[in-house]
A and B are shown apart, each in its own frame.
Chain A
Amino acid sequence: MYIERILCNMSCMINNEKFTDEEIVEKVRSVDQEFYVVIMERYQDKLLRYAANITRDEDMAVDVLQESFIKAFISLKSFDVKKKFSSWIYRIVHNEAMNSVKKYSKEIPLPDNVDFRSDEDLEDDFKQKETAAKVSKCLGKIPLLYSESLALYFIEEKSYEEISDILQIPMGTVAIRINRAKILMRNICQKN
């Protein structure tokens, strides 16, 4: 029985690469719950990184990820397969991570002397791929309100629309937060 499961898991992984997340979810719901392994394998690295960026603690991030996978499985039937699974699962991790952060508050306050006004075109300075590494290093120094949007945009490579879905904020607010995060990066991280 156990060996069969392992073999199934392996074949599931190989045969299911061509399926979308939403199709896999449908399989988990109506064919076999074993397919949930495929979902976890696809997302665990990305989600762990995302959770770690929010919690700033790897052990806590691991707990957040496990709890998120459990909650996602329990609520899987509430997922609308016409929508994007990735935004849905990121939202669950966001909720879990925020709960943990609130529990063991580690929030970094916003410095008093930051001026968010800027006439410069920040896009020139912050090309997505080049900046990802810098962003990773700097995230811990920026308040969570801004660092989360920045991580989703530069590291997780999510669009403004996806970030809006994950954080449940309007797209305009996403743009403002990312812009402010860039200014904060310049003011705080590049000085140090």
Chain B
Amino acid sequence: MSKELKNITGAVMGKIHHGEIKMRSRLYYILGSVLAMSGLAASIIVALFFVSLTKFMLRAHGPMGSFRLEQLISSFPWWAPIFAIFSLVIGLWLLRKHEFAYKRQPWMIIVGFVVTILIVGLIIDMAGLDEIWLRHGPMKGFMRSYFD
């Protein structure tokens, strides 16, 4: 068995010397974190607009909510949730693939993200920040066409 162990050390060091294996740059892990965080941010924005629109429809149209919901679905910017999901999945995949040895329960990450999204969405809505973003944010065009 000790001969096999020597072989392991030799084989691994040989691969390192020949450049067959290299340490992955820190950039990899940073990219994973950035993608996961931008996915989270995109999710927050989507949730924010969704909450805002729903509230507006219920206030303005009352019992016609179902009709308005169809309108909302047909005019909703679907790129935003797709981007959010894509970033989250790739970011978390990168983090899990290359930071695989730390104790992080996947379900806790998901629950944490969902709870964060809901809380931040509600806080921003209650603070009135959404009103400002509606006038100046990236979804201004969509909102204007909806209101018109």
Contact = CB atoms under 8 A, between A and B. Distances in A.
Contacts, number: 79
Interface in B6-58: 8-9, 11-13, 15-17, 21-26, 28-29
A66 B100 contact: no
Greatest chain A CB density within 10 A among B17, B25, B26, B103 is at B103
A66 B11 contact: yes
B5 interface: yes
B22 A92 contact: no
Contacts of A5: 17
B126 interface: no
B23 A40 contact: no
Interface residues of B, number: 27
24 contacts: A5-B17, A29-B23, A34-B13, A36-B12, A37-B13, A41-B9, A44-B8, A44-B9, A62-B8, A66-B8, A69-B8, A70-B12, A73-B21, A73-B23, A74-B21, A74-B24, A75-B23, A75-B99, A77-B25, A78-B98, A87-B101, A88-B102, A92-B101, A168-B103
Interface in A19-46: 29, 33-34, 36-37, 40-41, 44-45
Contact of A73 (B16, B99, B102, B103): B16
A70 B25 CA distance: 15
Interface in A133-147: none
B105 interface: yes
B4 interface: yes
Interface of B: 1, 4-5, 8-9, 11-13, 15-17, 21-26, 28-29, 98-105
- Give the interface size bracket for A toward B: 35 or more
Nearest to A34: B13
8 smallest beta-carbon distances between A and B, as pairs: A91-B101, A88-B101, A168-B103, A66-B8, A69-B12, A78-B99, A40-B9, A44-B5
Interface of A: 5, 29, 33-34, 36-37, 40-41, 44-45, 48, 58, 62, 65-66, 69-70, 73-80, 83, 87-89, 91-92, 95, 164-165, 168
A168 B105 contact: yes
Given A33-B16, A70-B21, A40 B98 contact: no
B20 to A, nearest CB: 9
A69 B15 CA distance: 11
A179 to B, nearest CB: 21
Contacts of B4: 62
B82 to A, nearest CB: 29
A145 B45 CA distance: 42
Contacts of B12: 36, 40, 66, 69-70, 73
A78 B33 CA distance: 12
A40 to B, nearest CB: 5
A83 B15 CA distance: 27
Contact of B100 (A58, A83, A91, A165): A91
A20 B101 CA distance: 19
B1 to A, nearest CB: 7
B26 A77 contact: yes
Contacts of A91: 100-102
